[in-house]
């Protein structure tokens, strides 16, 4: 495969375990970000923290493509569950992306990205099918490896892997009222985060395949912030590393 694979997360905790798998990584600075170049299971990879939010995500995606010549982008991280069955500890693999805070109405329909004639962007079908397969496998095996205490603390007894619409916006959704409003406006949305749809728009512009997997860290409600740092450290980082490892090993 020509050209490196980008491995991206928004937060340090999410990427740290992935970088730990790269024995030979070398740092390179660009645009105020550190890019880690190295190898994982024989693949040429570039790891980077996107930062939080759609602008940080879009500039990171552009730098990865323009400056590092990546040929595919895999994003791992956390999200808040929106659909009723999407619980903490589950995993959502995106099939489509939408910016829930895009609203140029009444000039354009709500959520439509002006100039594109569409509100949603697709994940790459092949890369996403592979990511779903490995995520499913990791979900069946990893909770046991995390230990009883962590499994019970976060209720990870029977995690599920969902596929569908992931929505992004420049806010951490942390009230029950706001998540109810999102569900009402976008009944198909499985989960909410802050970067995926920006990556999807840039990848669409450049024709670069994108796949995104998110572990559900909270329900985007009044309790969304509770245990968030501990979940990142003890659960999400392990999921990210195991999924990326399995993806590149395959």
Size of the site for ligand ADE (CB under 6 A): 13
Residues 110-139 that bind ligand ADE (CB under 6 A): none
Catalytic, 218? Answer yes
Catalytic, 14? Answer yes
**Sequence-separated (6 or more) residues with CB below 8 Å from residue 216:** 78, 79, 80, 81, 86, 87, 88, 89, 90, 91, 92, 191
Q: How far is CA 61 from CA 2, 103, 129, 152, 203, in A?
A: 18, 23, 21, 37, 7
- Measured from the CB atom, the residue of 84 and 207 that comes closer to ligand ADE is 84
- Measured from the CB atom, the residue of 79 and 161 that comes closer to ligand ADE is 79
Tell the residue number behind the tokens 């395959």, with chain if given.
Answer: 250
- Measured from the CB atom, the residue of 52 and 129 that comes closer to ligand ADE is 52
Is position 163 an interface residue for ligand ADE (rule: CB under 6 A)? no
- Measured from the CB atom, the residue of 57 and 192 that comes closer to ligand ADE is 192
Is position 14 an interface residue for ligand ADE (rule: CB under 6 A)? no
CA dist 170 and 115 (Å) reads 20
The three-state (H, E, C) secondary structure of 105-141, written as one string: CCCCCCCCECCCCECEEECCHHHHHHHHHHHHHHHHH
Is position 224 an interface residue for ligand ADE (rule: CB under 6 A)? yes
Is position 193 an interface residue for ligand ADE (rule: CB under 6 A)? yes
Active-site residue identified among 13, 14, 25, 193:
14
Among 172, 204, 209, 245, binds ligand ADE (CB under 6 A): 172
CB of 217 to ligand ADE, least distance (A): 5
Catalytic positions are 14, 218
Question: Which stretches of the chain bind ligand ADE, using CB under 6 A?
Answer: 78-80, 172-174, 192-194, 217-218, 220, 224
């Amino acid at each position: 495969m020509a050209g490196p694979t980008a491995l991206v997360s928004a937060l340090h905790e999410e990427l740290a375990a992935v970088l730990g798998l790269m024995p030979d990584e070398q740092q390179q600075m660009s645009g105020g970000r550190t890019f880690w170049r190295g190898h994982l299971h024989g693949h040429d990879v570039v790891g980077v923290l996107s930062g939080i939010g759609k602008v940080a995500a879009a500039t990171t995606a552009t730098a990865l493509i323009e400056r590092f010549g990546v040929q595919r982008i895999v994003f791992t991280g956390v999200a808040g569950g929106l659909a009723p069955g999407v619980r903490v500890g589950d995993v959502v693999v995106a099939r489509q992306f939408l910016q829930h805070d895009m609203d140029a109405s009444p000039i354009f329909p709500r959520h439509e990205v002006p100039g594109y004639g569409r509100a949603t962007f697709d994940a790459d079908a092949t890369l996403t099918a592979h990511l779903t397969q490995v995520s499913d496998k990791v979900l069946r095996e990893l909770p046991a490896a995390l230990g009883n205490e962590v499994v019970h603390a976060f209720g990870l007894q029977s995690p599920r892997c969902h596929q569908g619409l992931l929505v992004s916006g420049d806010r951490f959704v942390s009230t029950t009222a706001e998540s109810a409003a999102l569900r009402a406006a976008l009944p198909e949305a499985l989960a909410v985060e802050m970067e995926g749809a920006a990556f999807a728009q840039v990848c669409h512009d450049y024709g670069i395949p994108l796949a995104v997997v998110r572990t559900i860290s909270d329900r985007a409600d009044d309790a969304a912030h509770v245990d968030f740092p501990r979940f990142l450290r003890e659960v999400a980082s392990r999921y990210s590393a195991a999924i990326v490892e399995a993806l590149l090993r395959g």
